[in-house]
Amino acid sequence: MVKTAIQGGWVVGWTTNGHQILDEGIVVFEDDRIVFVGFPSDQNCPKAERTINAQGMLVSPGLINLHCIANLDLQVLRMDMKVGEGSGYSKPYSWVTNTDAPHILSDEDFRVSSRFCVATLLKGGSTTFAAVTTGATKRWEDPSVEPYALAEASEEMGARAWISHLYREVCDYTNPDGTRGEIWDRQKGQAGLDNAIKLIKHLQIKGNPLITGFLFPSRTDKCSDDLLKETIHQSKVLGDVHVRSHFSEHLQEFRDFRANNPSRTMVEWLEDVGFLGPQVCLTHAIYIGGHSATGESHRDDLEILARSHTSVCHCPVVFARGGSALETFSRYVNAGINMGIGTDTFPPDLLEEMRVGALLNKVIDRQRSVGSVRDFYNAATIGGARALGREDLGRLVSGGTADISIFNLSDLASGPIDDPISSLVHFAGRRECQTVIVGGKIVVDDGQVIGIDEERLSRQARKSWKRYVKGLVDWDYAGRSTDIVFPTAFPIIRNR
């Protein structure tokens, strides 16, 4: 068994009090375990057969991307879109109700989309990710090819992945006049859950320790109490598998709920249903009492989430693009809620998520001291690990799992460095990610995903993307052209 040392940089070591930075420290790992974290001068430091030179670099626990979009991300098409201009995704009723009609993307496109996502996630330094897919172009659940393709791509590239099969009880559609409708179908919701269970069992039988299944009823407001209860029951039956759902991410969702439930909050509803607990992660939990847009004062929502050990995943970038924000990250942290961070959109850049999240936190609370680097880095490491029930991840400690991300901070762009974690969060980006190690195996070397022809994958992804956008434009209820449905910042004039 070969011991590998990573030596010479700033090493983020773990103590019982939390992370600490070891300047010119060393991490030694053997197989998938870390065997030493400290200084090379320590007499207990084992001799390594192989050394990775990390001079000028930050040796970080692998970042945990607690909620990432794992398909070619449609949300980027809505960058500056006005509400009411048509969201751009018009799912025709005729397609929704004809279950034989094919998806816009072919099975091969889903495979390309999966490989593209896993490669970009790894390149950005996410060693672990919990993948979710869009419901915008689906009926009541994912096409079965998609999560299996994601599992295959993760296996091929050596990522540590939590994979789910999206299901819900409602499918939305667009009428020919542009108005929207919904079809509730309990049986279709159950069929989706059954397929999700099948996926989890398949992954359990396959037994790759890097790939784990979880349950993903895509939105709490698009599932009946029954389906949510059944989800929690099945999580227990399957061995307390992780459960996640989108929760209170839209103001209208909050308003609709309160109109029908004047005496209880959405968090109290989930408590009544039993959809809270240490195995549950709610994304994004934005509109709860105390958020200025709700006009309601803070009740016990944060306390209930903290008391039940429910995790919350914060994805600031995608919401900032839509003009909304959590109020606020530090308020949730101070309430004792376990917070994780995710990249719910492209690019999968956890450093950018931390930076944007920190800045928004400061602006909203009008305080310099909130939204600290410390709290955000904790969320991207130990917070995510706790949410997934894996406290061996997200920290560099002897006996822990060898998931490590190395970021180059020696470039001129990083500037003089006093505090390497502060530099990472506020000055760096995903392109500074140099080396990624998952379970003791190098999967990104010199910024390149090992075993992948990145240029070819990028070409394939662009072709699938073109088909995806064309399919969406073909679905447009008013038959409008691409430049009307998805206008670019400036007109693009093509060479003839």
Which residues contact Zn ion (rule: CB under 5 A)?
A: 344
| Least Å from the CB of residue 350 to Zn ion | 15
Q: Give 344 or 353: the residue with its C-beta nearer to Zn ion.
A: 344
Report the alpha-carbon distance of residue 181 to residue 490 in Å, rounded. 33
Shortest Cβ 69–Zn ion spacing (Å)? 7
Token pair, residue 82, equals 């006005």
User: Distance between terminal CA atoms of the chain?
Assistant: 60
Closest residue to Zn ion using C-beta atoms: 344
Q: Where are the alpha helices (DSSP H) in 207-349?
A: 225-237, 251-260, 266-273, 301-307, 316-321, 329-334
CB of 86 or CB of 322, closer to Zn ion? 322
CB of 322 to Zn ion, least distance (A): 12
**Residue 190 identity (one-letter amino acid):** Q
Which residue, 29 or 287, is less far from Zn ion as judged by CB? 287
465-to-1, 144, 150, 287 alpha-carbon distances in Å: 43, 20, 17, 32
The two counts, helices (H) then strands (E), for the chain are: 16, 21
Cα(307)–Cα(301) distance, integer angstroms: 10
Comparing CB distances to Zn ion, the nearer of 160 and 314 is: 314
The residue among 344 and 349 lying less far from Zn ion, judged by its C-beta, is: 344
Q: Which of 265, 91, 257 is nearest to 182 (CA)?
A: 91
Which CB sits closer to Zn ion, 54 or 131? Answer: 131
Minimum CB separation of residue 135 from Zn ion in Å reads 10
The pair of structure tokens assigned to 7 is 């030596």
Q: Is 59 helix (H, G, I), strand (E, B) or coil?
A: strand
Separation CA 327–CA 361 (nearest Å): 7
Q: How far is the CB of 353 from Zn ion (least distance, A)?
A: 13
Q: How far is the CB of 284 from Zn ion (least distance, A)?
A: 7
How far apart are CB 79 and Zn ion at their closest, in Å? 17
Compute the distance between CA of residue 20 and CA of residue 395 in angstroms, rounded to an integer.
10
If the CB atoms of residues 271 and 344 are measured against Zn ion, the closer one turns out to be 344
